[in-house]
Structure 1
Amino acid sequence: MNQSETKALEALQNGSDIRGIAIATEKYQITLTDERVEKIAYGFAKWLKEEKKVEGRAKVAIGHDSRLSAERLKTALIKGLTYAGIEIVDVGLATTPAMFMATQYEDYNCDAGIMITASHLPFMYNGLKLFTKSGGAEHEDIDYIVAHADKSFLDKNQHSGKVTNQDLLSTYAADLTDKIRAGITDAADKMRPLQGSHIIVDAGNGAGGFFAEKVLAELGADISGSQFLEPDGKFPNHIPNPDNEEAMASLKKAVLASGADLGVIFDTDVDRAAIMDKNGESLNRNPLIAVISSIILKEKPGTTIVTDSTTSGHLQAFIEAKGGKQHRFKRGYRNVINEALRLNENGTPSEIAIEVSGHAALKENYFLDDGAYLIAKILMTYATLRKNGQDLPDLIADLKEPAESEEIRLNITASDFKTYGKEVLADLLTFVEEDEEMELEPSNQEGVRVNTSGSLGEGWFLLRMSLHEPVMPMNLESDEAGGIQKVKDRLARFFADKVDLNM
């Protein structure tokens, strides 16, 4: 490969994924071209053989969400992989968690899986998420794949791979259904343990519509009022994203209009989820973490809940009151998952890794980032709560919520944004040390987290570097109305001379 093409491939790396522009618009040119995807397939084949030590003829499942560019990218992938002698299982419409399960189900027995998705990003984007039997690819794995993205790295193969088709999503849905039935032990009707419940799904025209029809309805739930279940890569109703205000407002409207007991929303590829209760109150972000933590801690007392760095201080108090421990780590779903794995390996039991964005991975489920399994786990407890005249909000009645919360994204215009960001954080440490109403959080893994008091009000703020962009997000929470503005006014003096940092 020439140097410019190597750089173009490297630019497609997004942490542990591949992402780029797959549909041209007035503003964007295609970066995820057929040729580049085919080359990534060569690098993937080389990686499977040399790094993952897959012997013989490898077998790889390929699936996609509802994006319009999915079929084009799949064709390019299949061209590259079959050239490398790999057997392909084309599973069609799928979810990211289901693609990993293709490496676990005996009926599939795949060595690896590739999910074609760009998660919640707008329609013109697409990308690749890569799996083997041991889990998702890491950043360094993508480095290797990109570095070997060329035919020349492959041994000449005498036989091209073949392509077969299987309905993975139905297999995955049946597996979830069986697990929910097994988890609801006190149901009068073992096959329909959610009978009498009215639960709706908002799939946002992503890949999550199956959960209403192939899981909830099979379990006896009334799913009338569910919306946007049909896959549509134009995302005509709203972005499929539980962390998006418009999407959550849409779910709230549907819950209240249908009189549902519960609403569920997924992102495009179903590795994230959130819940809405019957009153239209969101069980998302910190409340969602509190709900699943309450359930997990009842089953596994004393376990450590690994979260990202932006969770509320009140969540920590809630988890500790339930007898657990919270371990705040860095943003990024691979980061929190890997930290939970590390804790377990070092003798600290951790049953779940979860971000405020809705990414959740449970130890009992391969530490797989799986929004559908998260909802399935919650439904097992939900059914028992309803039988006893209770509801999910009762699990978190003791969770204190801040009066205000806000996230600000500050753009770095300096050419070397990483160095500049580090300098800003170092300067902030000095600024905080000189302010009597600000105190550094002693246990912090990312950026600078500060607790506020006195005239600033009880609360906290966190300034950190974005994982991949020239951006410094700042999260703020306060227990009093107007508290955030007081903190921002105090920080205005600090930001005044940061000429390469602006909103």
Structure 2
Amino acid sequence: MSSSINPTVFREYDIRGLVDQDFTLEGVSQLGKAFGTYLLDHGVSQALLGWDSRSSSPAFRDAMTEGLLSTGVDVIDIGQVTTPIFYFARIHFNIDGGVMITASHNPAEYNGFKLALGPATIYGEEIQKVRAILESGSFHQGAGKRTTANPVPAYLAMLHEKIQLGPKALHVIVDCGNGTPSLFARDVMKAFGVENAEFLFCEPDPTFPNHHPDPVVAKNLQDLIARVKETGADLGVAFDGDGDRIGVVDDQGEIIWGDRLMVLYWREILARHPRAKAIVEVKCSQTLVDEIVRLGGQPEFFKTGHSLIKARMREIGAVFTGEMSGHMFFADEYYGFDDAFYATGRLLRILSHSDRPLSQLLQDVPMKPSTPEVRIDCPDDKKMEVVNALRNAYQNRSDVSVIDVDGVRVVFPYGWGLVRASNTQPALVARAEADTPEHLQTIIHDLEHALTSFPFISHIDWSGN
């Protein structure tokens, strides 16, 4: 392995780590050579290259370009874009290969790479094949050409065509968290025909001075909540750092987490696609499962991870699914990839055709006591040790059952608790839900007792802050 790249950055569905510590520019160039070789081995000689607004991204772009070109792969630089615009560009320009330089919602000192081939980004074993090429140091040699292209006008025109709002005018607050969506949010709202939109922190700033661009963490939505309440807006939407995840706040300032948001989307989609197969990510509420069943859908628990879910959707012909973290995958009227701007458009369309406010559209869905998605610091090399130990311990108990498609979802008679290994960070992810606050505390204490038996795991903040 080149000393320029830390081998732990090769994660389940992307490559992500600390700038200068896990990656050097020489290492990024070597990675470009490895991925160029991988592409050529698959008969692909062109690659799109997009990059986010992090301060390290321009230098990484140059190093990645140098590496790819040296193998004979032609590079088409599409500029500073969100990850979904990168996905769209591959379809628009009909180019299979690609690299998106981004660390999504990770802190400012991180960066990373999403590698694309075929219908989606590569993951799992295929990422490890790129790593093996890098370790071998055996690269194709050639002289590729670099050109530029701009997919943004076509992307905006596509959104305008696909999203037709109803008669109700909407007042929308948009929080970009100073991430890459800042570059496009105003034009996207115009494309949707939203005339009354207000923008918070929609200037790119790679230091993220106002709050972290991660809408799954409640504290990052406090400015949005406050502004919705101050203005009486119909809703607030927030985006993560690279624009593939959505966060939503209703007209009362309440956060609508991903699993409740999916209920709104499923009500529209299952009415048009009866008995559709419905992938349910393991972190999601039982109320989502119950609602899918009530609507006539066929739920199936599945792993967390955008690449994994998109692959599963293609396998079973699913028309929609989403993740607790705000990834929403529409394949009924869209391309099947996660795009927070498009997910916003679908939500605005629902609202603009309803005479009820957003807060009332989910009043009939039980709000069970639950924790947010909680991240627990855990060394990368210890995560699976913890998950495997918990799985064994709970499978040996007679008072619970275990769903182990991704980590351990422990089903109690009165709720459930989940612990799984993060695919993107040195952390475990936990969540719990129950029928009463008292039962929720029982599940939390049960999980915490099991987790803190490991010396490297300390007290857990179940508030998610």
TM-score in terms of structure 2 length: 0.89
> Aligned partners of 1:367 and 1:414: how far apart in 2?
30
Structure-2 residue corresponding to 1:390? 356
Structure-1 residue corresponding to 2:18? 21
Aligned-partner residue type, residue 21 of structure 2: I
Aligned-partner residue type, residue 428 of structure 1: Y
Which deviations, in whole Å up to 9, do the C-alpha atoms of 1:390-427 show, x marking residues without a partner? 23444433211113425555666897653454233212
Q: Which region of structure 1 is more displaced relative to structure 2, 418-427 or 260-269?
A: 418-427
Which deviations, in whole Å up to 9, do the C-alpha atoms of 1:304-363 show, x marking residues without a partner? 22121111112211221122222121222222222222323xxxxx21231100112222
Structure-1 residue corresponding to 2:149? 166
The alpha-carbon distance between structure 1 residues 161 and 409, as it changes in their structure 2 partners (threshold 3 A), is closer
The alpha-carbon distance between structure 1 residues 154 and 392, as it changes in their structure 2 partners (threshold 3 A), is same
| Structure 2 unpaired stretches of 5+ | 460-465
**What's the RMSD between the two structures over aligned residues?**
2.8
Aligned-partner residue type, residue 155 of structure 2: Y
C-alpha deviation, 1:230, in angstroms: 1.3
Aligned-partner residue type, residue 126 of structure 1: N
C-alpha deviation, 1:259, in angstroms: 2.9
> Aligned partners of 1:229 and 1:497: how far apart in 2?
43
Structure-2 residue corresponding to 1:5? 3
The alpha-carbon distance between structure 1 residues 31 and 406, as it changes in their structure 2 partners (threshold 3 A), is closer
Structure-1 residue corresponding to 2:366? 400
C-alpha deviation, 1:489, in angstroms: 4.5
The alpha-carbon distance between structure 1 residues 498 and 240, as it changes in their structure 2 partners (threshold 3 A), is closer
Aligned-partner residue type, residue 66 of structure 1: S
Does structure 1 residue 475 correspond to structure 2 residue 421? Answer: no
| Residue of 285, 289, 314 corresponding to 2:262 | 289
> Aligned partners of 2:448 and 2:350: how far apart in 1?
46
Contact 1:409 / 1:472 at 8 angstroms: preserved in 2?
yes
> Aligned partners of 2:94 and 2:375: how far apart in 1?
44
C-alpha deviation, 1:444, in angstroms: 5.1
> Aligned partners of 1:374 and 1:466: how far apart in 2?
24
Max radius of gyration: which structure? 1
C-alpha deviation, 1:467, in angstroms: 4.0
3-state secondary structure, aligned to 2:134:
coil
Q: How many residues were matched structurally?
A: 458
> Aligned partners of 1:417 and 1:231: how far apart in 2?
34
Structure-2 residue corresponding to 1:25? none
Structure-2 residue corresponding to 1:486? 442
Does structure 1 residue 423 correspond to structure 2 residue 389? Answer: yes
The 5-angstrom pairing of residues 456-475 of structure 1 reads 458-467=414-423, 471-475=427-431
Structure-1 residue corresponding to 2:339? 370
Aligned-partner residue type, residue 148 of structure 2: N
The alpha-carbon distance between structure 1 residues 112 and 199, as it changes in their structure 2 partners (threshold 3 A), is same
> Aligned partners of 2:282 and 2:448: how far apart in 1?
23
Does structure 1 residue 251 correspond to structure 2 residue 249? Answer: no
> Aligned partners of 2:13 and 2:144: how far apart in 1?
26
Structure-1 residue corresponding to 2:97? 112
3-state secondary structure, aligned to 2:431:
strand
Structure-1 residue corresponding to 2:400? 439
Aligned-partner residue type, residue 439 of structure 1: V
The 5-angstrom pairing of residues 49-448 of structure 1 reads 49-51=40-42, 53-54=43-44, 58-105=45-92, 108-149=93-134, 153-157=138-142, 160-181=143-164, 184=165, 187=166, 196-344=169-317, 350-364=318-332, 365-385=334-354, 389-405=355-371, 418-419=384-385, 421-430=387-396, 432-433=397-398, 438-440=399-401, 445-448=405-408
C-alpha deviation, 1:76, in angstroms: 0.4
3-state secondary structure, aligned to 2:181:
coil
C-alpha deviation, 1:266, in angstroms: 0.7
> Aligned partners of 1:237 and 1:63: how far apart in 2?
25
> Aligned partners of 1:205 and 1:118: how far apart in 2?
14
Contact 1:114 / 1:129 at 8 angstroms: preserved in 2?
yes
Contact 1:9 / 1:36 at 8 angstroms: preserved in 2?
no
Structure-1 residue corresponding to 2:463? none
> Aligned partners of 1:291 and 1:117: how far apart in 2?
30
Which deviations, in whole Å up to 9, do the C-alpha atoms of 1:67-117 show, x marking residues without a partner? 111111011011112222332222221011111222211xx3333221110
Contact 2:13 / 2:423 at 8 angstroms: preserved in 1?
no
Higher RCO by CA contacts (8 Å cutoff, separation 6 or greater): 2
3-state secondary structure, aligned to 2:212:
coil
The alpha-carbon distance between structure 1 residues 198 and 411, as it changes in their structure 2 partners (threshold 3 A), is closer
